[in-house]
Amino acid sequence: MKLVSHLPLAALCLGIGGLFGIVIDNQIHGQIAPPIVMPKELTSYRDVVKRVVPAVVSIEAKATKRVANRRPQQQLPPNVPEEFRKYFEGMNQDDQNSNPNLGFGSGFVIDPSGVIFTNFHVVDGADTLEVGFPDGRKFTTGDIVRDPKTDLAVVRIKSDKPLPFLEFGDSDAMEVGDRVLAVGAPYGLTGTVTQGIVSAKSRQNLKLNQYEDFLQTDAAMNPGNSGGPLVNLEGRVVGINSAIKTRGGGSNGVGLAVSSNLAKDVSNQLLRGGSVKRGYLGVGVREVDAELATRLGVPADSNPVLVTKVYDKTPAAKAGLRAGDVILSVGGTQLKDVNTLPRLVAKMPLGQSTEVQIVRDGKVTTVGVTIEEQPDDYGQERTARSTPNRVPADVGLDVAGLNVSDLTPALAAQLGFPRDTKGALIMSVDRGSAAANVGLVRGLLIVKVDKAAVTSAKDFEQAMASASKEKGALLQVTRPNGESDFVVLKVK
């Protein structure tokens, strides 16, 4: 009886369960989304790689005879920070006197007739290059034109048929976060591709080249990548791989590529005339902070650049510019920062006068300067800075964390100042003092305090005693090489 009485209930439960299962099954199937189609560039770069790699070459640099004055590859140029290493490597320094192979790097074709773009440091010292393509073809050439000031070069080869080539893109249009590919021959491994993003734009003042505009990327770069292209996902060149920031010699995710917009201008001039002609003023400059700008009487809405030195027989010297002038604009174009000035002047027509707006002694004025062609060796000056020998303590005066002394003719001769130079010579700077914090160092000569001339240590002591404790004292200092600078020194 129990069995009979429970059958209808069991059947009902099975029926409801089946119906519920059908409903659930339909609901589940109804909620399944169609397959997600990922954009191809998120899953593979194969298409852009296929377009780019055939135009990227390896370059082996050779010298038919020993170049006595060539800089060893492992030795960095003067003033280059130690963590920056060019990666034109691949040769043992010990063998450089006997081995004609200088090293290797990369490059890429920019014209199907056989025009190749690369870094200057890849071809530096070479008179013959062996250019290799991914398909196995090799070419030998000595047709090289160079621009050391941007670390760029153009190489020509002769081919009996058109070569695959790449087009320049707009580096200014790239944004931080955009994906890029670095292509080249690291460690001689031709056709290597790495991927990453643009980490930063407009990296300048790194002391790698005289004219700088770098894209920074985390795409892996290693020795041998130099001269290869950094491309966007359209396969256009947005940078020329040039340097890495590293302590161990390998990629640490900080690569630097010369921007394509800078490279395009250089390549056009090299192809037209074999060299790059640039205008110049002939001044040393530095940025001005807000406090110093106020003391110098600079308008608040400007981006001033302080003239620290005017080189002899240059356009600036002929026009009467002086160390201590503050430049606001050139040819009607306001400066954005200290790097804007040389790049702006470099593109100006040669032989024509242009107006340079400056602040001198707190007053805004305009000076006419005739732009001349920049000499090849301009910007390569290296001046050793001497420091004075220790002098007896009773000779100097301790003022504001500084020990200063009169500049005697003997000290002037030792340091390289003209013998008739007057001022208060800094003999030492107290560690942690206000003077040390504003950058004053041993060997600088104080020539003015609050625009009043200082001819001795005693003058400096008196000037500091009467200076404003709230605003601080405006000091003008000079170096033996003629550079001037200004600092605001506040003493409690």
Enzyme catalytic residues:
121, 151, 226
336 Cβ partners below 8 Å, 6+ apart?
303
CA 260 to CA 230: how far, in whole Å? 9
CB-based contact 365:331 (threshold 8 Å): no
CB-based contact 192:174 (threshold 8 Å): no
Consult the annotation and say whether 226 binds a ligand: yes
CA 100 to CA 120: how far, in whole Å? 18
Consult the annotation and say whether 29 binds a ligand: no
3-state secondary structure 293-305: HHHHCCCCCCCCE
CA 60 to CA 116: how far, in whole Å? 13
Tokens of 263: 């490279």
Nearest to 487 by CA among 288, 304, 302, 322: 288
Q: How many CA atoms lie less than 13 Å away from 16 in the CB half-sphere? A: 5
User: How many CB atoms lie under 10 A from the CB of residue 374?
Assistant: 23
CB-based contact 309:480 (threshold 8 Å): no
Residue with tokens 């780019």: 52
3-state secondary structure of 82: coil
Consult the annotation and say whether 6 binds a ligand: no
Per DSSP (E only), the strands in 209-251 are: 214-217, 229-231, 237-245
User: How many CB atoms lie under 10 A from the CB of residue 139?
Assistant: 18
Residue with tokens 């589940």: 28
Consult the annotation and say whether 398 binds a ligand: no
What is the DSSP track for 55-76?
Answer: GEEEEEEE-SS--TTPPPTTSP
Consult the annotation and say whether 224 binds a ligand: yes
Residue type, 453: A
**Torsion over CA of 333, 339, 318 and 383, rounded to 10 degrees?**
170
Residue type, 206: L
Binding-site residues from annotation: 121, 151, 224-226
Binding-site residues from annotation for substrate: 121, 151, 224-226
